[in-house]
Amino acid sequence: MRVLALDVGSSSTRACAYDERGREAGEPARRAYEAHYRPGGAAELDADELVRASEAVVAEAGAGPDATGISCFWHSLLGIDEAGRAITPLLGWADARAAHDALELREQLDEKAFHARTGCRFHPGYWPAKLRWLKRVQPDLFTRVRYWLSFSDYLFLKLCANPATSVSMASATGLFDQMKCEWDRELLSVLSVDPEQLPSVAAPRSTVQGLGEQYSSRWPMLERAAWFPAIGDGAANNIGLACAARDRVALMLGTSGALRMLSSRVPPQTLPSELFCYRADRDRVVIGGALSDGGSLLAWMKDVFGLNYDDDELNRRLEEMEPDSHGLTVLPFWSGERATGWSAAARGTIDGLTAASKPIDVLRAAMESICYRFALICRALDAFASGASIILAGKAFLSHPIWAQMMADVLGRQVELFPDPEVSIRGAALLALETIGTIDNIELVKGEPGRVFLPDMTRHERYALAIQRQEDLYRRLIN
């Protein structure tokens, strides 16, 4: 039994074969691409470029699998015409041009009620604000759209001639009733979107057998594989980290960041305003909070401030510094804010700069500030996963272990750093193996042991004061 897993991210796509136990069974293939950022908050991708990248890695890694599982980034929006051609740019979660429209939706509608139903706040990262913005600024284009899709739906349409979406991808659009597992018709009516313009939501455990005409002759080794509609990358990330039950939560720090738990329970009746609720499948929900800035902010600061150190030297210099010794307070919203306040207008802030401030001070303050935001998410998530083990993941932690130690100190809890930076692709493979019956239950899959970081409680007390200082600045500038 072999499964081909495909992981489509916002900066690269990977494919790799896995055996019946979820172990790599071949060399992974990878292709990179870049989002296009422009003044005014634009963050766009070329949907057809991502399709070509996905084609390339599947062709390179896809040697006769029995099934194919896909992980894809959540929250993207694409409009296609009657012929299946993309006629809008692919809007990513970081596209902030719908900020005004998110605020208008909050004034027009009962956000608390929609948050309870959809698991999403009114925010420019989700579909409702994006759709309202497109209708407002490009009404002619808006009326030409036949279907509104996530990128994974577009890819599935191209590969398998089937536009069905998964309950996982639909659940993170902001247009999906989490309890009923169907599109929210009240919200669609407000946005002037016909339910027939959205993809059908695939039935539980459904697959598509065979490829579209364009690919069946090109990839005969994949013709007999069962194709599963894509799941969201956050859900796949938890599964790949063996965080598929409430006793282990995943804290991922890559370009952005997220703290998530996976639960087999139904969506909560009351969801704290700080958190989202999506789905991995019809039997499992994903509850957590996301940050728009993570490793991207570290990279920006290194570039802007000319910190041309290799990772070892940078880690050494950071370790020499005392916690919160720089006198700076940072709001890490360079790419806007999601959790905890979901402000559409939040921007990055560095407060307390003096002539004595050094670039390394600003860098450490920014890293600590991201830990503080995670601590606030963790407080809200404790309502569902109190006492759970915290598993860290992502290249940012692996390249900078000092950041993992900061996280342990800020949280005041032991954390464990997962040794593999690429886990979403494994999560897609494991869920596919469970669905076809090769694995009994993904909750029983064990993760690789990682490096453990223990908290320094003296530092924790110092960081608690810094969190309060950050919250005071937030209230003055954002609220």
Mean pLDDT of all residues belonging to the chain: 94
245: tokens are 């039950």
Per-residue pLDDT tens digits for 55-72: 999 999 877 788 999 999
**C-alpha atoms less than 13 angstroms from C-alpha of 64 in its C-beta half-sphere:** 1
Count CB atoms within 10 A of the CB of residue 58: 22
Check whether 97 has a pLDDT greater than 90: yes
Check whether 460 has a pLDDT greater than 80: yes
Residue 334 CB burial class (10 angstroms; 0-12, 13-18, ≥19) = middle
72-86, 213-227, 290-304, 415-429: least confidently modelled range: 213-227
Q: What is the DSSP string of 190-220?
A: HHT--GGGSPPBPPTT--EES--HHHHTT-G
Check whether 96 has a pLDDT greater than 90: yes
Secondary structure (3-state) at 356: coil
Q: Model confidence at 47, in pLDDT bands (50, 70, 90)?
A: very high
CB 195 within 8 A of CB 188: yes
d(CA 227, CA 340): 36
Above pLDDT 90, what percent of the chain?
83
d(CA 201, CA 255): 29
Per-residue pLDDT tens digits for 295-308: 999 999 999 999 99
CB 231 within 8 A of CB 428: yes
Backbone angles phi, psi at 276, to 5 degrees: -105, 165
d(CA 401, CA 225): 40
Backbone angles phi, psi at 245, to 5 degrees: -135, 170
Q: Which domains, and CATH codes, for the chain? A: 3-234 (3.30.420.40), 295-418+453-477 (3.30.420.40)
The pLDDT of 278-288, averaged and rounded, is 95
Instruction: Note the pLDDT of residue 114.
Output: 97
Phi/psi class of residue 306: alpha, beta or left (left: φ > 0; alpha: ψ in -120 to 50)?
A: left
Cis-peptide, bond into residue 143, ω within 30° of zero: no
Strands 248-253 and 257-263: antiparallel
Secondary structure (3-state) at 163: coil
Length of the chain: 479
pTM given for the model = 0.94
278: tokens are 């999506």
38: tokens are 């422009």
Backbone angles phi, psi at 299, to 5 degrees: -65, -40
Per-residue pLDDT tens digits for 109-165: 999 999 999 999 999 999 999 999 999 999 999 999 999 999 999 999 999 888 789
Q: Which residue do the tokens 């960081």 mark? A: 463
CB 123 within 8 A of CB 338: yes
Q: Which residues pair with 263 in a beta bridge?
A: 285
Q: Which amino acid is located at 86 in the chain?
A: A
Instruction: Note the pLDDT of residue 230.
Output: 95
CB 94 within 8 A of CB 35: yes
444: tokens are 């029983």
d(CA 40, CA 44): 12
Instruction: Note the pLDDT of residue 213.
Output: 80
Secondary structure (3-state) at 237: helix
Write the CB contacts of 5 (distance below 8 Å, at least 6 apart in sequence): 15, 16, 17, 18, 68, 69, 70, 71, 425, 426, 428, 429, 432
Q: What is the DSSP letter of 444?
A: G
Instruction: Note the pLDDT of residue 479.
Output: 73
Q: What is the DSSP letter of 311?
A: H
Above pLDDT 70, what percent of the chain?
100
d(CA 407, CA 393): 12
Instruction: Note the pLDDT of residue 422.
Output: 84
Q: Which amino acid is located at 48 in the chain?
A: D
d(CA 475, CA 351): 14
